[in-house]
Each structure stands twice: as structure tokens, then as C-alpha cells.
């Protein structure tokens, strides 16, 4: 099939490369010429494990990249994969989605049926909105010349290749029977694992012969749009809950890791998203929970559980800062090393990361900040140019004359550090491990004072 993906960010680049790898003639469109040049040269415009290799294997074969919209006229399916940032009031800004719809509309082929797919996370009713825009500009009839489908992405940054080839579910939202047929044909190779041997031999993360096939679920467009928001909000609530349990464990002297493990043994609860942290962040959870809450309030059906989860998350950021402040008494003039700026490992994405909030609070209290991240420093500097902080090329440099080290992101390389070297550099050997992943007994033996979350 002829596929077009508009947008080459975390969703668009992965989606386009995956369909190209599956043999579909795929074009990725982006108005940023730098991103397009990177893709054309076989490189990924974002950091995602193995994505560079996937792009280099398919570029100029089944994968193409361009800044214009010439390929739209011959496309069978067009994915809208652009950003949907939050506005000041917390609602979603659909400017980019609207602009893409306006670009697509006059270029549609009136002699064929084209499926337009909202892959970006968009509010309920967006499929209808895009349909109206395309219909008005193109003069074509919805359901005859084109249909708009909601096919939300469920990719985890850092594990996107695994998620795109081995999804738990594929959700298709449309009222058009013809669009359903087209989408089934598109996903047929993925569901049947066409050329699976090539997948598994090429990418180790795809060598999962026992992985169950995805559930292909068809529904209406509004329900599909709601599924995405409801899913992300639920996961946010789950994280906020275990973080609240961690705070209570600190007060009671219980071990939250043991509590979480015992809870997760119950199949009704499961063990995923029960890992304690300094809070949830990233490009999805903060934006999606606020949008869903705003929508619920607009319609007089406030989701009080989601509201509480958002408030609890902010409390968790404060709780981490309070722990440091309690240990050091005063933060004014103290030097604090931060390990990890991205909202999770194996990505360069720092949008709405926990580090942004916590560093801002530490700076307000007069602390001097040194930071390190294997992949996220360039983006963090770009988004936080007002922060008077020191960026360190090596993680050990954050410990120089530091009064505290705070682990925010559990990158593998931080678990392999020579902590004796960090100890020798620090003015005060205090570590706050917000992920409870460091070898505490070993570090205590070295002379560190190590504190976790929910482990007192």
C-alpha cells in the first residue's frame, strides 16, 4: 500500500519506518528540512534505540522523505502524526493537526478512496473536525472519496520498535466500512507477522516468538479517541497511587518495593506501573491527563480521581525536594548533582520531565545545580535556557564538591558508575535515589548516606 506519514517526531518517524520495513511504500513528510535531510541520509531525527538502523535499511527503498505534499495525491492512507501541545488553559492545541488537514485536502485524488488517520493523541471529536475541514476545502464527499479514522498510538519512548511490531492492541475508530477494509489490509502483515524471521534476525528486541498477537479492535471514532486518553489517565493514576503509598511507607517504616511486589502478584492489579519515582512526566501523561480533566469539567462530569492524581504528582515533586532540604538543612549555596534529565531512560525526550520541575524548585531555594544525561542534555538546554545550571559531559563531574547527588532517571550507565570516585569528589556523600535502584548496602559501606522513596 502507499502510505504517507505527516510528521517525523516520536510517532511519525517510528510509524513510517515500521510500515516501510513491512513492505509498504511509505513517505514521511515534515516541514523541517533538517529532519528530512537526516532521514534521507539514513538517520533518525530523534533518539530511539534501533530506529537509525531501521531507517537506514529502508530509506530510498520503501521509505522516502520530503518537505512537500506531492505524495498525498497517490496515497491510500495518510497518517497525521504531528504534535498536539497544551495551551495555557490545559486544553489541546490542534493547530498543527488543522494545518495538516488543510494541506491534505486540496491534494486528495478525487478518483480514489483515501483514508486519513489521526495517529496523534487528539481530543474526542477531532475525527469529525478533520472530516469537516477536508470536506469543505476539497469539495469531496466523506465516506465516498475519503474517510477519517482514529488509530491512536500506544508507543513507549525507548521501546517504540517493540511496541510498533508487537502491540498489545490496535484500535481502529471509524464508522466507514470501506475504511475498515483498508485499515485491515494495512495491518495484515503486522498481525500475521509477515517475514517474522527477518524481524527477529535483524533486531534483537523483535526476537519474541512467544509474544501473543495483537488484539485488533474496531470501534467508532469517538470511542477510539477516548480510549487513548482514558488509558494514559489510568496509568497516571496508578503511578500516583504507588507514589502515595511510598510516602506512607516512609512514615510507617515499611518497604514500598516489597509492598508493590506483593500487590503486583494479584492478576487484577498486575506489576506494571508500580515502580516508585519522583513523579510522572513526559510528552503524554501531563498533557493527556489535563486535557481529559478539562473535558470532564467542561461537560459537568469532573474526573475527580484524575484531578487527585495530578495534584498528587505535584506533591511528589515537592516531597523529593523536601527530602533533600531536610537532609541538608538549607539549600542556599549548596551544590546538587542531578543524574538524569529525560522523563525515562532510552529516550532524549525531556518535555515535562520530572527534572524540569525539581531543578526549578531547587534553584528557587538557592541551590547550585550540575546535571548529566546520556541523551537529553541538548534538548533540556534548549527548553530551559533560563536555568543557570552546569551541564557535565561525564556523570562523575556532577559529584565535584557536591552536597548531594539526586538520581532522577535510571539509565543503565548510572548503575555501573564507579561510586567510589563520586564519593571522593563530594563534599557531603548524600544520595537521593528516587528510583530505588542503587545498591544501597554497598554504597552505605563506602560511606554514603543513601535515601530512597518509601524505604525508610
Q: Pick out the residues of the known binding site for substrate.
A: 154-157, 228, 273-277, 281, 344
Give CA–CA dist 1/106, Å, rounded. 21
**37 C-beta neighbours (distance < 10 Å), count:** 13
Give CA–CA dist 33/35, Å, rounded. 5
Residue 59 carries which DSSP code?
Answer: B
Which is the catalytic residue, given 5, 284, 320, 392? 284
Give CA–CA dist 151/83, Å, rounded. 15
Question: Residues annotated in the binding site for NAD(+), as ranges?
Answer: 30, 35, 84, 121, 157, 287, 351
C-alpha cell belonging to residue 82: 504531528
Give CA–CA dist 126/149, Å, rounded. 10
Please confirm, yes or no, whether 205 is among the known catalytic residues.
Answer: no
**101 C-beta neighbours (distance < 10 Å), count:** 26
Question: Residues annotated in the binding site, as ranges?
Answer: 30, 35, 84, 121, 154-157, 228, 273-277, 281, 287, 344, 351
Give CA–CA dist 416/414, Å, rounded. 5
**235 C-beta neighbours (distance < 10 Å), count:** 18
Give the H/E segment covering residue 239: helix 221-252
Q: What is the DSSP string of 2-58?
A: EEEEE--STTHHHHHHHHHHTT-EEEEE-S-HHHHHHHHTT--SS--TTHHHHHHHH
**234 C-beta neighbours (distance < 10 Å), count:** 14
3-state secondary structure at position 245: helix
Residue pointed to by grid coordinates 471514532: 221
Among 243, 201, 350, residue whose Cα is nearest residue 286: 350
Q: What amino acid positions are annotated as catalytic residues?
A: 284
Amino acid at each position: 500500500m502507499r502510505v504517507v506519514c505527516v510528521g517525523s517526531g516520536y510517532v511519525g518517524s517510528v510509524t513510517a519506518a515500521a510500515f516501510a520495513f513491512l513492505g509498504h511504500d511509505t513517505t514521511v513528510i515534515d516541514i523541517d528540512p533538517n529532519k528530512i535531510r537526516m532521514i534521507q541520509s539514513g538517520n533518525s531525527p530523534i533518539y530511539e534505540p534501533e530506529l537509525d538502523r531501521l531507517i537506514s535499511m529502508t530509506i530510498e527503498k520503501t521509505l522516502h522523505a520530503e518537505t512537500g505534499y506531492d505524495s498525498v495525491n497517490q496515497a491510500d492512507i495518510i497518517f497525521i502524526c504531528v504534535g498536539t501541545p497544551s495551551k495555557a488553559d490545559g486544553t489541546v492545541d490542534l493547530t498543527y493537526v488543522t494545518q495538516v488537514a488543510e494541506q491534505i485536502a486540496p491534494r486528495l485524488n478525487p478518483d480514489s478512496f483515501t483514508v486519513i488517520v489521526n495517529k496523534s493523541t487528539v481530543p474526542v471529536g477531532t475525527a469529525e473536525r478533520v472530516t469537516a475541514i477536508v470536506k469543505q476545502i476539497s469539495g469531496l464527499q466523506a465516506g465516498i472519496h475519503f474517510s477519517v479514522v482514529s488509530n491512536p498510538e500506544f508507543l513507549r519512548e525507548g521501546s517504540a520498535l517493540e511496541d510498533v511490531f508487537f502491540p498489545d492492541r490496535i484500535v481502529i475508530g471509524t464508522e466507514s466500512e470501506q475504511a475498515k477494509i483498508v485499515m485491515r489490509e494495512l495491518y495484515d502483515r503486522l498481525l500475521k507477522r509477515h517475514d517474522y524471521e527477518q524481524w527477529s534476525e535483524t533486531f534483537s528486541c523483535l526476537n519474541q516468538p512467544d509474544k501473543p498477537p495483537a488484539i485488533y479492535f474496531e470501534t467508532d471514532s469517538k470511542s477510539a479517541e477516548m480510549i487513548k486518553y482514558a488509558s494514559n489517565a489510568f496509568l497516571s493514576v496508578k503511578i500516583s497511587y504507588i507514589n502515595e503509598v511510598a510516602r506512607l511507607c516512609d512514615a510507617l517504616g515499611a518497604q514500598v518495593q516489597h509492598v508493590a511486589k506483593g500487590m503486583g502478584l494479584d492478576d487484577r492489579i498486575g506489576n506494571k506501573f508500580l515502580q516508585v519515582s519522583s513523579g510522572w512526566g513526559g510528552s503524554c501523561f501531563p498533557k493527556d491527563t489535563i486535557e481529559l480533566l478539562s473535558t470532564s469539567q467542561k461537560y459537568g462530569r469532573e474526573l475527580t480521581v484524575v484531578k487527585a492524581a495530578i495534584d498528587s504528582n505535584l506533591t511528589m515533586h515537592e516531597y523529593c525536594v523536601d527530602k533533600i532540604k531536610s537532609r541538608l538543612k538549607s539549600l542556599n549555596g549548596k551544590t546538587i548533582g542531578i543524574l538524569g534529565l529525560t522523563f525515562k531512560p532510552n529516550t532524549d525526550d525531556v518535555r515535562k520531565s520530572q527534572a524540569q520541575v525539581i531543578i526549578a524548585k531547587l534553584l528557587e531555594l538557592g541551590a547550585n545545580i550540575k546535571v548529566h544525561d546520556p541523551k537529553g542534555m541538548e534538548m533540556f538546554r534548549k527548553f530551559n535556557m533560563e536555568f543557570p545550571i552546569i551541564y557535565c559531559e561525564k556523570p562523575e563531574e556532577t559529584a565535584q564538591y557536591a552536597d548531594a547527588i539526586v538520581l532522577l532517571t535510571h539509565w543503565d550507565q548510572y548503575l555501573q558508575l564507579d561510586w567510589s570516585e563520586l564519593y571522593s569528589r563530594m563534599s557531603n556523600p548524600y544520595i537521593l535515589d528516587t528510583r530505588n535502584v542503587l545498591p544501597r548496602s554497598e554504597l552505605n559501606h563506602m560511606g554514603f548516606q543513601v535515601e530512597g522513596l518509601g524505604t525508610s
